[in-house]
Amino acid sequence: MNKNWWKESVMYQIYPRSFKDSNADGIGDIQGIISKLDYLQDLGVDLIWLGPIYDSPNDDNGYDISDYYNIHPEFGTMAEFDELLAGLHARGIKLIMDLVVNHTSDEHEWFEKSSASIDNDYRDYYFWRDGVNGGPPNNWTSFFGGSAWQLDEKSGQYYLHLFTKKQPDLNWENPKVRQDIKNVLKFWLDKGIDGFRMDVIPLISKRLPFQDAEARNFSELVEKYYSNGPKVHQYINEMYEDVLQHYDIMTVGEGPGISTSTALNYISPDRRELNMIFQLEHMFLGFGEKGKFDQQPYELVDLLNILINWDEAISEKGWNNIFLDNHDFARLVSRWGNDREYRYECATLFATLLLTFRGTPCIYQGSEIGMTNVKFDSIEEYNDVETLNFYQEFVVDGDMDEATFMKAVYKEGRDNVRTPFQWNDSDSAGFTDGKPWLKLNPNYDQINLEADQAHSKSIFAFYKNLISFRKGNEDLIYGDLKVLQKEDNLFIYERRGEQDSYLVILNMKSANAKYKLPHSKIELVQSNCDGFPNPIEVLHLRPWEALVFKIIE
Ligand code: ISL
Ligand code: CA
């Protein structure tokens, strides 16, 4: 096993709009992040993934970039970005940026030129096609509802957009596009950033000539038609050979449609492509035929099976990333746990899983204080384009009743994780002195960092403690993983290092459980419940109890 800094790091995702506002316009910004650098250092994370901060009309909150070389004025200036980077580095924290190059904004100069006429130098920067029988070129649907093709009245042709119609897909077949993207990579790497999180990177190579898809459900559509296209590895490798290999950096590709059988093609070191992927198989759990607002039941053991399968498939030759939430999916404590009676226990149990499983852990902002999902009263209070588009498609234009749709939004809508960070219980939770761009979760009077910091037993203290336990602990980071049990929502595994080995016991349900210890001598090193009795043969576990033991014999 090769050792690398990015395998030993604890990653933390910042969603810039919602982290901290410095100038009372209600929008989180770079100065806000700078004001919290000591907080990040105190928490102990050493690698930040910063969501997009580039110029953007914000149709998809920055995932629609109109200028890769400029900072959006609502976030600040390039000088402030440089200050942020220097401030992080001064604290020993690295920074990776979001790279969104499957598509641009329709307000990007390239698209404006491309759409100006049928015949111009930029026309084939994007995919323009004639319609078929008075409709779009094929039956592909976008991630955010409706056809993936938009008719341009002026030229009479359609352009491809796998996301919103304000996110036209770039044509990577065109070598000029690839060169332009490589210039973007170089620009940011020369500034000294430490790598990229590459948005929907397996989608960059399209299956031409755009034949109709025949898929039973959304996940299959993504895997078989949109992802893993014929030239995807050529394109990623080209970025590696021409740019990435010349820097000491880390890359993690967001991986919709990548499965355990295709993952190593992206991340096995001999492929010279990416270091890690954010696999999304567990995040897509519960997606029905029509995606996330078409919710289907699933069990917690499905999550465990996916994590275990990925570990088995990847960890000998590559390296996994472990995350349980991000800016696109529900709050982890609400999605996988019980955020009412057992919020503290669940948040700390999942922290234990994140930080002791094999792979680089990624913590999404707010998880370290146990922030939960939110329920706004009406659809008008939502901001997320995915939620709003599907509301239109399923409820307004379709036959889904509003209550069913809202239930899915409360469960899985992206605004659950985008409400502002809850710093304290003052007005606007200490996030802003103005009116927040998205309503706060009203529970900020109870759930906030200051409240956590006032107690030695808090979710924040637990994270901090476990992060520092993990740091530099090579046996825990690189040790083998052996699963002993996953049945009955009792998840038990060992991490076997060269010197020390650990036993992790997670009781993942709101009920007691019993477990017969396989070792005669163990020492408790981490626990989320008070008053653990001295090691005894049969453990009596409380609801959502999480224990980490060092194995002596
Ligand atoms: O959000 C999702 C489901 O609700 C995912 O399908 C998501 O669209 C997919 O993982 C791609 O996400 C990434 O690219 C999108 C952007 O909206 C997301 O925020 C980003 O993480 C388009 O750039
Ligand atoms: Ca601001």
* The residue type at 176: K
In the reported structure, the alpha carbon of residue 143 is separated from the centroid of ligand 1 by a whole-number distance in angstroms of 8
Q: Domain segments of the chain: what residues?
A: 5-102+175-378+416-465, 103-169, 379-415, 479-551
Which ligand has its closest atom nearest to the C-alpha of 35?
A: 2
Report how far apart, in Å, the C-alpha atoms of 78 and of each of 31, 188, 190, 197, 479 are: 12, 11, 14, 20, 41
pTM: 0.98
Give the CATH superfamily of 103-169.
Oligo-1,6-glucosidase; Domain 2 (3.90.400.10)
> Closest residue (by CA) to atom 10 of ligand 1?
256
Nearest to 251 by CA among 409, 437, 119, 97: 97
Q: 5-102+175-378+416-465, superfamily in CATH?
A: Glycosidases (3.20.20.80)
Does residue 16 have a cis peptide bond before it, meaning omega lies within 30 degrees of 0?
no
Give the mutation target among 162, 166, 328, 388 for probing the ligand 1 site: most ligand atoms within 8 A of CB. Answer: 328
Instruction: Give residues whose Cβ lies within 5 Å of ion ligand 2.
Output: 21, 23, 25, 27, 29
Q: What is the CB neighbour count within 10 angstroms for residue 452?
A: 21
* Distance from Cα 428 to the centre of ligand 2, integer Å: 13
CB 104 within 8 A of CB 110: yes
Q: Which of 199, 252, 417 to mutate to test the pocket of ligand 1 (most atoms within 8 A of CB)?
A: 199
6 C-beta neighbours (distance < 10 Å), count: 22
Give 51 Cα–ligand 1 centroid separation in angstroms.
12
Pocket test residue of 64, 200, 362 for ligand 1, highest count of atoms within 8 A of CB: 200
Distance 63 CA to ligand 1 centre (A): 9
The CATH number of 479-551 is: 2.60.40.1180
- Spatial CA neighbour of 457 closest among 379, 527, 366: 527
Q: Helices 232-242 & 175-190, crossing angle to 10 degrees?
A: 40
Q: Which amino acid makes up residue 34?
A: I
Reply yes or no on whether 368 is catalytic. Answer: no
Q: Quick one: pLDDT at residue 360?
A: 98
Rounded distance from Cα 484 to ligand 1 centre (Å):
34
Residue 254 annotated as catalytic: yes
Nearest CA to ligand 1 atom 2: 328
Smallest CA separation from ligand 1 atom 5, residue: 328
Output the tens digit of pLDDT for each of the chain's 553 residues.
799 999 999 999 999 999 999 999 999 999 999 999 999 999 999 999 999 999 999 999 999 999 999 999 999 999 999 999 999 999 999 999 999 999 999 999 999 999 999 999 999 999 999 999 999 999 999 999 999 999 999 999 999 999 999 999 999 999 999 999 999 999 999 999 999 999 999 999 999 999 999 999 989 999 999 999 999 999 999 999 999 999 999 999 999 999 999 999 999 999 999 999 999 999 999 999 999 999 999 999 999 999 999 999 999 999 999 999 999 999 999 999 999 999 999 999 999 999 999 999 999 999 999 999 999 999 999 999 999 999 999 999 999 999 999 999 999 999 999 999 999 999 999 999 999 999 999 999 999 999 999 999 999 999 999 999 999 999 999 999 999 999 999 999 999 999 999 999 999 999 999 999 998 899 999 999 987 766 678 999 999 999 999 999 8
**98, 169, 199, 494: the active-site residue:** 199
Q: Provide long-range contacts, Cβ within 8 A and 24+ apart, for 302-305.
A: 303/336, 304/486, 304/491, 305/486
Task: Please tell me the distance between residue 457's alpha carbon and the centre of ligand 1 in angstroms.
Answer: 35
Kindly state the DSSP code that residue 538 receives in the 8-state scheme: E
- Please give all residues whose beta carbon lies within 6 A of any atom in ligand 1, as ranges: 60, 63, 100, 143, 163, 199-200, 254, 256, 280, 292, 327-328, 386, 414
For residue 436, the ligand closest to its alpha carbon is 2
Judged by its nearest atom, the ligand closest to the C-alpha of residue 60 is: 1
- Atom 12 in ligand 1: which residue has the minimum CA distance? 200
Question: What integer pLDDT is reported at residue 530 of this predicted model?
Answer: 87
208-221 in b/e burial notation, b at 16+ Cβ within 10 A?
Answer: eebeebebeebbeb
